Amino acid sequence: MANRQQTDPAPQWWSRPEGTAEADRRHGVPTPRPDSGGEDHVQDAAPTQDVPTQDVPTQDVPTQDAPTQDAPTQDVPAPGVSDLTPDVPAAVPTVRYDPWGAEPLQVVDRGRTPRGIRLWQVVALSLGTALFAGGIGGYLGVLAERQSSTRLELPQAAGAADRGRAPESVAGIAATALPGVVTLHVRGTKGSGTGTGFVLDQQGHILTNSHVVADSQEITVTFSTGESVTAQLVGRDSGYDLAVVKVSGVRGLHPLSLGNSENVQVGDPVVAIGAPFDLSNTVTAGIISATGRPVTAGGDKGDGSDISYVDALQTDAPINPGNSGGPLLDAKAHVVGINSAIRGADKEDATRQGGSIGLGFAIPVNQGKRVAEELIRTGRATHPVIGVTLDMDYAGDGARVGDKGEDGKPSVVADGPGARAGIRAGDVITKVDGQRVRGGDELIIKIRAHRPGDPLTLTVLRGGRESTLKVVLGSANGS
| Strand boundaries in 365-464, DSSP class E | 382-385, 399-400, 428-432, 435-436, 455-462
Instruction: Write down the catalytic residue from 185, 211, 334, 383.
Output: 211
Closest alpha carbon to 288 in 324, 339, 322, 346: 339
Contact call for residues 241 and 212 (beta carbons, < 8 A): no
- DSSP letter, residue 160: T
Instruction: Write down the catalytic residue from 308, 324, 356, 411.
Output: 324
Q: Which residues of 124-150 are buried (b: 16+ CB within 10 A; e: fewer)?
A: eeeeeeeeeeeeeeeeeeeeeeeeeee
Contact call for residues 365 and 376 (beta carbons, < 8 A): no
Closest alpha carbon to 197 in 188, 186, 184: 184
d(CA 337, CA 259): 9
Backbone angles phi, psi at 366, to 5 degrees: -65, -40
Is 148 among the residues known to form the active site? no
Closest alpha carbon to 182 in 234, 125, 133, 225: 225
d(CA 340, CA 355): 14
Closest alpha carbon to 459 in 399, 396, 395: 399
d(CA 286, CA 155): 35
Secondary structure element (H or E) that encloses residue 287, with its range: strand 282-297
Collapsing DSSP states into helix, strand and coil, what is residue 231?
strand
d(CA 391, CA 405): 9
Collapsing DSSP states into helix, strand and coil, what is residue 66?
coil
∠ Cα 348 342 335 (to 5°): 175
Backbone angles phi, psi at 440, to 5 degrees: -65, -40
Is 241 among the residues known to form the active site? yes
Going by C-beta distance under 8 Å and a sequence separation of 6 or more, which residues neighbour residue 124?
Answer: none
Half-sphere exposure of 189 (CA within 13 A, CB side): 2
Closest alpha carbon to 293 in 264, 271, 269: 264
How many Å from the N-terminal Cα to the C-terminal Cα in the chain? 157
Instruction: Write down the catalytic residue from 24, 241, 311, 316.
Output: 241
State which amino acid sits at residue 258.
L
Is 185 among the residues known to form the active site? no
State which amino acid sits at residue 399.
A
Annotate 102-155 with DSSP letters as a single string.
SS-SS-----SPPPPPPHHHHHHHHHHHHHHHHHHHHHHHHHHHHH--PPP---
Just list the catalytic residues: 211, 241, 324
